[in-house]
Structure 1
Amino acid sequence: MAVVGITAPLSLTGRLFRGLVGPMIGLALVLGAGGAWAIHSIVEAVNDRLLGASARAVAETLEVQDGAITLDLPPWALGMLENTSRDNIYYNVYEGNRLITGYPHLPPPDPKEFNTRETHFRYGEYRGQRVRIAAEARRLPRTEHLVVVQVAETLEARWALSTRMLLQLVILEVALIALASFLIPIGVRWGMAPLTHLRRGMDARSASDFTPLPLEDVPRELRDLVNAFNDLLARLDSAVEGMRRFTADASHQMRTPLSILRTHIGVLKTQMQERARSESIADIEAATDRLQRLLIQLLTLARAEGAEPSGLTLTDIDVEATARSVAEEYAPQALRAGVELHLAVEGREPFVAKGDKVLLTELLSNLVDNAVRYNGHNGNVIVRVVGEENRVVVEVEDDGPGIPEDERDKVFTRFYRLNRDQSRPGSGLGLSIVQVLTQILDTRIELLSGQNNQGLRVRVIFQRPDAAAA
């Protein structure tokens, strides 16, 4: 039987600590390597200074007397190299390849590598020991070759000093890492104090308070986060306010048909005459139809406003086929209303655009329903599909009373109705639904006058797939 372990999520302090441990260790290694190189360079430079001074002191005593090279080796010249590690000191003097004096087994110099302007340093071995050699060259009168003085010392003092300094460096780095590990949680808690204050303020708010969070005490690094949260609060406030307005408008619109239903049901209970009964039933049917359409439109509007354009997958749809289907669906309604419904297809094929077939059907259905519903008897409604160069246009045109130009922006407001239509059945939601759907489908809608400035012509403009891609 397998056992599944559940790991509790780390706190922000724990995440920061774990995220910083690796970089801190890496930085410590880099600093350690750099420190080791610096220590080696410093120790070598200090000891080479003394070793070179010793070689120069010996070289200054070189003379030529009676054709022979002599030197006076002062005790202090080699004594300056004495140290607590008791390193061994060696020397020799060469003229060219000829040893004049000193330790014969000390590695001889190569005169070609030397000049009289600077001291030459190198490592070598003498009797199985690693030594550091300083060589000083001189050009003496009446001598054919350069005279080179070499002074060498063993490396115990250098190694001891380097080891001691490296150990101190390691101790210092460990102490710094330990101190950082102790201070990081404290620093994080101190840095997060403004957010803690904001959280407490949010906890103290009421459920309906969506005012933005204050930015005065928020650190600069966290202001983008708080601004994003404030934007979210603003969108949430707008959504809640829209829901409240929607609920209030819906309850107001539903109150009238429900009152009619209740009134006529009461009449049916008490009124037994055939004529009154028939009138009440007719009113009940009209109110029921109105209530049914209102509920359908409310649900459609809520579904449309809840659709996220970013989460909608737009595909290639046949606009002409969708428009034909909508026209066929509303043909019986147009026939009952005494309105002739026509379908016209013009322009360049294919009539394909990017969109969603269900939403496009809902959009065209609302336009055709409005055109039929608000047209007069013996009126005409034309559903026209026009294929242009880079776009496909669907027009729904009627020869009814139309919409005055100064009110064409207002009719997209929910539940807004023209004064002349107050006595007609309707809810004022049709064009509101159309506007929301055009925004989701990334299309453009225009309200224009019909032919001879009579009626209304609604244009919905779609981009062709190749134009949208370009």
Structure 2
Amino acid sequence: MRRIEPRLQRKLLAWLLGPLLLLLALDTATAYFVSLRFANLAYDRALHEIAREIVLHAKPGEGRPRMELSDAAANVLLTDAQDRLYYRVDATDGTLLGGDAELPAPGVLRGRIEPRFRDVELHGEEVRLVSARMPIKTTPGAPEVHVQVAETLHKRTRLAWEMVVSTVLPQLLLIVMATAVVWFGVSRGLQPLQRLRDALANRSHLDLSAIDTHDVPGEVRPLVDEVNELMGRLGTTFDFQNRFVADAAHQLKTPVSGLKAQIELALRETDPERVKHSLAQLYISADRLSRLVRQLLSLARNEPNALDKVQLQPLDLNAFALEVSMDWVPHAIKRSIDLGFEGTDDEPLVIDADRDRLRELINNLIDNAIRYSQPGGRVTVRTGRSADQQVRLAISDDGPSIPVAERQRIFERFHRLLGNQEDGSGLGLAIVSEIATLHGAEITLEEDVDGVGNTFSVFFHSRED
């Protein structure tokens, strides 16, 4: 079964008209009972007058009165076009003098009884009953009788409903008119949303510009603002993706072309030694290509807008930097580089960091230092605290000093120093900068303390215990 789609227009009409209809129902019930009360007041007087007329047909007799009501007189008094009437007359001692014995017997009467009206059941239907004690003559000392007259409720109910209809019908007409006005008003009021829907439906999937909020209702404006903000974030993400694809295509084009050229050269060679040399060159090129792909993926993963968010956990930078540095010892020995570590022994340097990303940051800095240091040079990894008690990670090398004018651009993607013959993609320091940003850290570059080479320093906020 298809689920009914919730619509704002229906909900508004339900909340506006629902209470009105409920009030109309309560008003109808109240009006019916009030109208029935007034109908009873009007017809009770006539019922009391019939009781008076019946008493006029009671005559004094020996010991007790007697009834002399002929059939013709009874037909005149008790005939009604809409209702049936019944009567009963009893002596003061409870003796039935005339009328319908099914009416409730009054019993022995003592004292004067004022006319009393009530609803009872007679012959299987509801009737209105008047009960009163009256003298049979107006002369003082005349004997009294107890007279009861009952009447069915048809004309009373009909009068009550006529009064209800005359009261409620105008209200119902007003509600119908209000429904039409509200429907029209809500439809007109929701037209800006309809135009907004049409504008979005006609948009290209490539159009992420902000939605025009000129004619948007104030209640919907926060939602539209959030959508605009989402589109802005999507635009930034798509720009990043497009830039990444363009950069990747540009950077991969050259090594792939080199690989193809070397493969073609190897295919033409017949000398086993030359083929072996070509395969060695192919391996070197493939290794460079693999490193470039890893760096591109790392750059994408560490983009501030990337979906893979950083997971910060407490970590001792001193012990962790030593662990990562030890992994580079074989590579440093291979390059004849003196790789050293200077840490703190008196206290742990606890920071909030993503372990994998921090390892990547240190790896790139050490790799960069070893790569650009001359054989026999020195690379030192240091941990400690700065003057303002920030946790500091520093990597010093003996490579060519980077000019002051280039120290800001060195962290840009694919930026390489002119005249540098060392192989590289220009992505390592960009990755370091992105990871530092994700950790809320600051990275600086200055000359080494001995005036030879460079020192990259990363300042982390110390974790509050």
Normalised TM-score (structure 2) = 0.62
Q: Deviations over 1:380-406 (max 9, x none)?
A: 111111145743211112121132221
Q: CA deviation at 1:345?
A: 0.6
Q: Deviations over 1:434-460 (max 9, x none)?
A: 222122222222222212333221121
Q: Deviations over 1:187-240 (max 9, x none)?
A: 443233223223322322322222222233333443333333223222222221
**Cα pair 1:316 1:355 within 8 Å, conserved:** yes
Aligned to 1:395: 394
Of 211, 214, 219, the match for 1:213 = 211
Q: Deviations over 1:136-187 (max 9, x none)?
A: xxxxxxxxxxxxxxxxxxxxxxxxxxxxxx9999888877766665555544
**Cα pair 2:342 2:380 within 8 Å, conserved:** yes
**Cα pair 2:237 2:305 within 8 Å, conserved:** no
> Do residues 252 (structure 1) and 250 (structure 2) align?
yes
Aligned to 1:269: 267
Local SS of the residue matching 2:464: helix
Equivalent residue runs for 1:90-129 within 5 Å:
none
Q: 1:7 to 1:261 in 2, by over 3 A?
A: same
Q: Distance in 2 between matches of 1:330 and 1:169?
A: 96
Q: Deviations over 1:107-137 (max 9, x none)?
A: xxxxxxxxxxxxxxxxxxxx99xxxxxxxxx
Q: CA deviation at 1:347?
A: 7.4
Q: CA deviation at 1:18?
A: 5.1
Aligned to 1:406: 405
Aligned to 1:291: 289
Q: Distance in 2 between matches of 1:313 and 1:25?
A: 57
Q: Distance in 2 between matches of 1:425 and 1:168?
A: 98
Equivalent position amino acid for 1:418 in 2: L
**Cα pair 2:313 2:354 within 8 Å, conserved:** yes
Aligned to 2:131: none
> Do residues 371 (structure 1) and 369 (structure 2) align?
yes
Local SS of the residue matching 2:383: strand
Aligned to 1:323: 321
Q: Deviations over 1:280-336 (max 9, x none)?
A: 223212211110101111111112227669954422112122212211222222222
Aligned to 2:127: none
Local SS of the residue matching 2:284: helix
Q: Distance in 1 between matches of 2:282 and 2:365?
A: 27
Aligned to 1:240: 238
**Cα pair 2:350 2:462 within 8 Å, conserved:** yes
Q: 1:287 to 1:202 in 2, by over 3 A?
A: same
Equivalent position amino acid for 1:10 in 2: P
Q: Distance in 2 between matches of 1:199 and 1:302?
A: 35
Equivalent position amino acid for 2:400 in 1: P
**Cα pair 1:347 1:387 within 8 Å, conserved:** no
Q: 1:328 to 1:416 in 2, by over 3 A?
A: same
**Cα pair 1:340 1:379 within 8 Å, conserved:** yes
Equivalent position amino acid for 1:385 in 2: T
Local SS of the residue matching 2:443: strand
Q: Distance in 1 between matches of 2:171 and 2:365?
A: 76
Q: Distance in 2 between matches of 1:463 and 1:167?
A: 80
Of 195, 198, 201, the match for 1:200 = 198
Q: 1:405 to 1:23 in 2, by over 3 A?
A: farther
Q: Distance in 2 between matches of 1:305 and 1:173?
A: 66
Normalised TM-score (structure 1) = 0.62
> Do residues 358 (structure 1) and 392 (structure 2) align?
no
Q: Distance in 2 between matches of 1:215 and 1:272?
A: 72
**Cα pair 1:308 1:440 within 8 Å, conserved:** no
Aligned to 1:157: none
Aligned to 1:303: 301
Q: CA deviation at 1:277?
A: 2.6
Q: Distance in 1 between matches of 2:202 and 2:8?
A: 23
Q: Distance in 2 between matches of 1:456 and 1:356?
A: 26
Q: 1:194 to 1:273 in 2, by over 3 A?
A: same
Of 440, 443, 449, the match for 1:442 = 440
Q: Distance in 1 between matches of 2:265 and 2:303?
A: 40
Deviates more, 1:438-447 or 1:225-234: 225-234
Aligned to 1:338: 336
